[in-house]
Amino acid sequence: MTTSATEGHIADHKLAQHGVQRIEWAAREMPVMRQIRERFKRDRPMEGIRVAGCLHVTTETANLLIALKEAGADVRLTASNPLSTQDDVAAALTVEYGIPTYAIKGEDNDTYHQHLRDILQFNPQLTMDDGADLVALLHTTESDRLEHVVGGTEETTTGVIRLRALSAEGKLRYPIVAVNDADTKHFFDNRYGTGQSTLDGVIRATNVLIAGKTFIVAGYGWCGKGLAMRAAGMGAHVIVTEVNPIRALEAVMDGYRVMPMVEAARQGDIFVTVTGDMNVIDTGAFQVMKSGAILANSGHFDSEINLPSLTSMSEGKKELRPFVEEYRLQDGRNIIVLTEGRLVNLGAAEGHPADVMDMSFADQALAAEWLIENAENLHSQVYKLPDELDNEVARLKLEAMGGSLEVMTPEQVGYLGSWEHGT
C-alpha cells in the first residue's frame, strides 16, 4: 500500500493496467467528452490550475480528470464515498496518468476523512465535489486554504441542497456551479443512469428475479422516476412513497400505487430509497416488514435507512454474500440490507454507464473551464451552468447518438415570437 501524501494512497499499484483497460473501454462510450478532451489538449484552458476532485472513483471520472490534465491542470482525486472506489481505476490514475488518488474501496470513515484532508494539502484553486464534502471542509477546519480557491463544481442533488443551505446563511465563500441542475445532467444521469445502475447493483449483489416482486421506490424525483420505470419494465409491481403531493400525483398517473412507507412496508419484497432525506425507512416500517425483505439505498448519504434502529431491533447480523447482510430480528424475522445502506449502484455495481456520464462530465469539464475564464467577475453564490453550454452538450450528444434536429423556418420563428396570431 502506498501512503505518501504526494503520491496518493491506493489499495494496489499492480491493478493499474487493468484500470487503464477499463478506463479506455469507458472512453469509447463518451463521444462528447472525447471532443472536449481534444479541444482541451489543443487549447490548454486550464494551464497550471490546481484541481481537487472528490468524486466517485470510476472509469468515467477517470476520463473527466484525464481531460482536465490534458487541459494543463494539476489534478488530484479522492473518493466521495467509502464504498464507491474502483481500486484498479485509483491505481491507473496514480501510476499511469499522473493523477495522485487517495481512495481505497471499503476504507473506514477515518481514512475517508483523512483522504479529503490529504488532497486539500496542495491548496486547490478549483474543487469538484459530489456531495459537497470538500466545500464543507474548506468552510470549517480547512478554511485557511480558502484564499487559493477561485471556484468549484457540484455533481449531485444532495450536494446542491447543502450548498444552497450554506449560501442562504450567507456563508458560502466562493462561486460554485451546480452541475446537477443542468438539464443535460439530472434529466439523464439521475433518471436513466440511476434507474439502470441501481437495479444493476441490486441484481449483482443478490441475483434476485425482479419480475413479479413488489418493489418499493421511496422518493419520486429524478432518480425515483427512472428507478420505478426500469423496475416496472422488468415486471415488478411498483409502489411509490412520496412527501410531495405533485410528485406523488405524477407517480399515480404513471401507473404506480402511492402510500406511506409503513403501509408499503407490509407488502414490499425489495425497497430502494432515493430521496436524499434521512430515516426514510424507519422503526415502524421494520416492525411490519416481511421476513426476507431486501433493503437498499441509492440516495447520496447512508442516512436513508435507519440502520441504528434496525441494529437495536436485531440479535445480530451476518454477511451472506459480498455487500449482502442479514439482520436477525428478535421476533425471528430477518431483513436483508445491501452495501451497508450506502449507494447500492456504486457499492455493488459500477455506477452509471459511461454513455450517460458522458453528458454529466462534459457539463463538469465545461463548468470548470467557464469558472476559470470568468473567475474575476463571479460572486460567492451557486450558479447554474449557462444555458448555451447545457444546450451545446445536448446537441453534441444528440449528434453522437444519430439524432438530428428540425430547424424552424423564419415564418415559424416570427409566429412563435408574436402575440397577434390567434383564431
Ligand X SMILES: NC(=O)c1ccc[n+]([C@@H]2O[C@H](COP(=O)([O-])OP(=O)(O)OC[C@H]3O[C@@H](n4cnc5c(N)ncnc54)[C@H](O)[C@@H]3O)[C@@H](O)[C@H]2O)c1
Binding residues for ligand X, rule: CB under 6 A, are: 156-158, 186, 190, 194, 218-224, 241-244, 247, 274-277, 280, 298-300, 343, 345
For residues 104 and 116, give the distance between their C-alpha atoms in angstroms, rounded to a whole number. Answer: 12
Nearest residue (CB) to ligand X, 125 versus 297 = 297
For residues 28 and 11, give the distance between their C-alpha atoms in angstroms, rounded to a whole number. Answer: 26
C-alpha triplet 355, 178, 61: angle, nearest 5°:
35
State the nearest-atom distance from the C-beta of 228 to ligand X, in Å. Answer: 11
State the nearest-atom distance from the C-beta of 390 to ligand X, in Å. Answer: 16
Check if the beta carbon of residue 189 is closer than 8 Å to that of residue 356.
yes
Q: Which helix (H) or strand (E) holds 295?
A: strand 293-297
Beta carbons within 8 Å of 381's beta carbon, 6+ residues apart: 167, 172, 175, 176
- From the list 15, 215, 165, 201, the residue with the least C-alpha distance to 95 is 15
> What type of residue is 214?
T
Check if the beta carbon of residue 348 is closer than 8 Å to that of residue 134.
no
Nearest residue (CB) to ligand X, 71 versus 367 = 367
The 10 Å CB-count burial string (b at 16+, else e) for 103-135 is bbbebeeebbbebbebbbebebbbbbbbbbbbb
State the nearest-atom distance from the C-beta of 248 to ligand X, in Å. Answer: 8
Task: Name the residue with the smallest CB distance to ligand X.
Answer: 221
Check if the beta carbon of residue 114 is closer than 8 Å to that of residue 120.
no
Beta strands in 96-191 (DSSP E): 101-102, 126-129, 151-154, 176-178
C-alpha triplet 210, 274, 77: angle, nearest 5°:
110
State the nearest-atom distance from the C-beta of 219 to ligand X, in Å. Answer: 3
Nearest residue (CB) to ligand X, 269 versus 302 = 302
State the nearest-atom distance from the C-beta of 197 to ligand X, in Å. Answer: 6
Nearest residue (CB) to ligand X, 222 versus 286 = 222
- CA terminus-to-terminus distance, the chain: 75
- Taking each helix axis from N to C terminus, what angle separates 354-374 and 387-400, rounded to the nearest 10 degrees? 150
State the nearest-atom distance from the C-beta of 347 to ligand X, in Å. Answer: 10
State the nearest-atom distance from the C-beta of 306 to ligand X, in Å. Answer: 11
Nearest residue (CB) to ligand X, 343 versus 389 = 343
State the nearest-atom distance from the C-beta of 186 to ligand X, in Å. Answer: 6
Nearest residue (CB) to ligand X, 100 versus 351 = 351
Ordered strands of the 293-297 beta sheet? 257-258, 237-241, 214-218, 270-273, 293-297, 334-338, 324-329, 314-321
State the nearest-atom distance from the C-beta of 144 to ligand X, in Å. Answer: 29
Nearest residue (CB) to ligand X, 53 versus 219 = 219
Nearest residue (CB) to ligand X, 281 versus 371 = 281
Nearest residue (CB) to ligand X, 221 versus 268 = 221
